[in-house]
Amino acid sequence: MGIISNVLGIVAEYNPFHNGHVYQLQQAKQQAKADLTIIVMSGNWVQRGEPALLDKWQRTKLALSGGADLVVELPFQFAVEPAHLFAQGAVQLLSMLGCNRLAFGAEHPELDFEALVANQPTDASSHFKRFDETYPTLFNDYLQAQTGLNLRASNDILGFSYVAANQRLAQPLKMIPIQRRGSAHQDTGIERGTTIASGAAIRKAVKAGEWTVINQMVPADTARALRKEQLISWTDYWPYLRYQLLVSSLADLHDIYQMSEGIEYRLKQAALVSATFEDFLWAAKTKRFTYARLQRLCVYILLQVNRVALPTELRYARVLGFNSAGQQHLNRVKKASKLPLISRVTDDWINGPFRLDYQAGLMRQMLSGVDQDRLQHAVIESS
């Protein structure tokens, strides 16, 4: 393959892999002059606290067929977290995998992300004592007052978080913002005549069975997977979550990771009166808590993640899939990095550093009947 000089990293969820992701991959490779492309991808749970529609192995196969060379899982400890912690883990992992470029989609790629990072509050908790707005709203209001720049779009916020995390690296990566095409990240509508829509809009269309529309928005491989594979949503997990909420004491709920401000009382009461997960979120919602924050709490409750269970250091890289170029790069990384690269899950890893990721996969396995940690061979063979 020759000497690798430009190793491109992309942080993704691919929930599901759609035409917008194809466009971003093509643009990122071109602008980075990439010799190799590494995807750090969320596993079976994504950043906003939702189960991925397709499992991590199905999404890995789609990423490889879409142009990725290597796909590595973002550990659960970072994958289901607010943007700054999500970005911290992902950027650090890309750096340790040998990337020197990072591309990300942004609604406004022309934003001066460095200026925004330079003007963020040094102690955010001391600035935002109001309880009539969510933390992201207060944070963005502060930045806009300091810089005149508006940081409210979902991908812009992630871009800001990537830039902030990148600046903390000993050897920062070259940042490449890519103009996002189509609807905004959380828009659920699909414009007539377009071939690019948000993941949220596509998931809504899948739920409604609008396959003619879906076929226009995703690659053929994704369309086949969405029709063939078992799809998972919060509806499937709701009975398990509701049970946990109803049988757990308030003291036990209070000990769940990121539980704060007495929200456990509201969550327990909402579970008593709600027949569906959507009803539950509506009943639990407050001005202080975003839906994403509530959903992340629900994941922690479902998996029984307590305040001391979530480590903050990056301890391993779980390899999900690769092609021949990705395999060659992995061999180089193994020689140069002290970070353990997991390609086969052993009992020692399941009972040790990999425990939370294993739990997250086990919950999905209970619903699908598909062993979530024994599928890598099939993924690699198909790439």
Residue numbers in the known binding site are: 11-24, 105, 155, 180
Phi, psi of 340 (to 5 degrees): -60, 130
User: How many CB atoms within 10 Å of residue 253?
Assistant: 18
For the record, the structure tokens of 238 come out as 């709701």
Residue 306 pairs with which residues in a beta bridge? 256
Instruction: Find the distance separating the first CA and the last CA of the chain, reported in whole Å.
Output: 17
Q: Which residue has the tokens 């946990």?
A: 244
Q: Which residue has the tokens 């007052």?
A: 145
In 3D space, the residue among 174, 28, 159, 194 whose CA is nearest the CA of residue 101 turns out to be: 174
For the record, the structure tokens of 303 come out as 């998996």
CA dihedral 75, 79, 83, 88 (to 10 degrees): 10
User: How many CB atoms within 10 Å of residue 162?
Assistant: 28
Q: Would you list which residues are annotated within the binding site for ATP?
A: 11-24, 105, 155, 180
Query: Is the peptide bond between 82 and the residue preceding it cis, with omega within 30 degrees of 0?
Result: no
Ramachandran region, residue 41 (left: φ > 0; alpha: ψ -120 to 50; beta: rest): beta
For the record, the structure tokens of 245 come out as 């909420």
CB crowding 118-147: b at 16 or more within 10 Å, else e = eebeeeeeeebeeeeebbbbbbbbbbeeeb
For the record, the structure tokens of 71 come out as 């796909």
In 3D space, the residue among 96, 23, 50 whose CA is nearest the CA of residue 241 turns out to be: 50
CB 277 within 8 A of CB 295: no
